[in-house]
Structure 1
């Protein structure tokens, strides 16, 4: 089994986690020998790959529609002012216009190879509600929606880029619309293998980015405040890419606080992800895409 390790590349700014509910994140107690920990982790990686490759879960994953990028796209050229940017981050919208009251029951997802899938659609009002969380304090910046129409947008998915139906919201002061995917993602398949127990390292916190060529992925990994920072092992098979998060060096004994740090780790692959499933060795489940603003519709 050929497993490669990638070191962390950049700090995931502004994030710190309490160790409550995560176990001994700082790992200040006694540690197993590094070689023993590596062996245990590699065995787990192999078991996850073996469980998924050729499984019913892998078939269900491949047949489904699972977004792997943000399903909301800003108007072409982006938001023009800091006030508009803050309103978007705060989910602060106001509706001054009418939204379509009827929606087709289903829409078609179309991938680059010509394959398609029919999925149910959300209505314009439901899609708007996903953008806006309601009333805001007087004087707070807001984005004004003046209408919407059903169109299309391109998103990254578990099977590569796809064109999907989307609600195109007209914004006051903008020529181009804000797009929100109208397609309801497929239900996640049940994993053929349970979560790991007594395996060194921590579950990944999510997928941040996949390059256009799909030769690298950036994930969020957890480490303690006293260890050497996160490292991510990768094991590639024909049907899966298994990632396992650990730490470069065990925590040093001493005055360690039980806190964790989330950091971005970029993992380079031997070949593009393609339609292979990206798996977390610790959970035994697909690595969830983590949008910058809000939960992924596939995993929420």
Structure 2
């Protein structure tokens, strides 16, 4: 399904210049109390329709992507571009040996086949950098046409030196476990940690073989469309005990953005309410972070989107 253009914005920043919002009488479709009641009704339907298969409780269903960070990598514009494009080069040997590994869940353990460090690296490495016109071919070299001085221990210096379009440099590989949100709560999952010269923390590639990863179950959405004034949750930005930060998909001129949550003993449903604007407005989907606090820590309960009924995953960095 094709979606409108997407824009990520910070919380509570709205597009300027939209038409005034319409004023509805109390209890009308745009009344906050009415929208909250509609949300609770739909969330109840979503929760009742949630019927995952046995893999959800007994297998390995990750709710994060296979590449993660355990800290802030301190990206620059160039290193982030290299990371997202999959540009790497290795300066160490990377073992092709395959092994078995154990995932530790809050409710038990599971032994699964793992990929080798070499295979994990192949999954990360997506090619070489594209040419960058007007940029140096090696770091530390002057931009063409720029003034230069005598070379020092780190190469040529110049007042207009830029970072070249270069891959990330792998200087070490270690094997460890990292915390990953799964269908069975936060688990300790085997992973290959690639030390990167240009980043503050390693790039972590989860080591579980793709054949051992169970898919996220298909959701069952309510038959009726999402009521006007309610919006879907796109993904989870963070989980911290009983605090959830979700990203809501809202319109460019929506105001009064309010997160909504329905909490049951086995499932949590999230979404939001907005006040729509009248008049012309750009067709743009914004991702609006919003935080909700549950009555109890999330634990292993799935977080479902009120629109589609789909379980939400942790958003990639």
Instruction: Assess same fold via TM > 0.5.
Output: yes
| 1:291 aligned onto 2:284 | no
Q: Provide the aligned length of Structure 1 versus Structure 2.
A: 263
The 5 A counterparts of 1:137-156 are 137=131, 138=137, 139-146=164-171, 148-156=173-181
SS in 1 for 2:262: strand
Cα 1:71/1:226, change in 2 over 3 Å: same
Contact 1:242 1:279 in 2 (8 A): yes
SS in 2 for 1:34: coil
| 1:42 aligned onto 2:35 | no
Counterpart position of 2:270: 243
SS in 1 for 2:226: coil
Alignment partners' CA distance in 2, 1:103 and 1:175: 28
Cα 1:196/1:98, change in 2 over 3 Å: farther
Counterpart position of 1:168: 193
Cα 1:39/1:177, change in 2 over 3 Å: closer
Counterpart position of 1:61: 56
Larger radius of gyration, structure 1 or 2? 2
TM-score of the aligned structures, taking structure 2 as reference length? 0.69
| 1:187 aligned onto 2:178 | no
Instruction: Render the CA deviation track for 1:67-108: whole Å, top value 9, x for unaligned.
Output: 34565455878459775555334432112343222312x421
Q: CA deviation at 1:204?
A: 1.7
| 1:111 aligned onto 2:68 | no
TM-score of the aligned structures, taking structure 1 as reference length? 0.72
Counterpart position of 2:247: 220
| 1:204 aligned onto 2:233 | yes
Q: CA deviation at 1:221?
A: 0.5
Alignment partners' CA distance in 2, 1:167 and 1:140: 25
Contact 2:87 2:166 in 1 (8 A): yes
Q: CA deviation at 1:273?
A: 0.6
Cα 1:47/1:87, change in 2 over 3 Å: same
Instruction: Render the CA deviation track for 1:123-150: whole Å, top value 9, x for unaligned.
Output: 3333213323211034313222245354
Q: CA deviation at 1:60?
A: 3.6
RMSD: 3.6
Q: Which consecutive unaligned segments of at least 5 residues does structure 1 have?
A: 1-9, 17-25, 293-300
Contact 2:46 2:222 in 1 (8 A): no
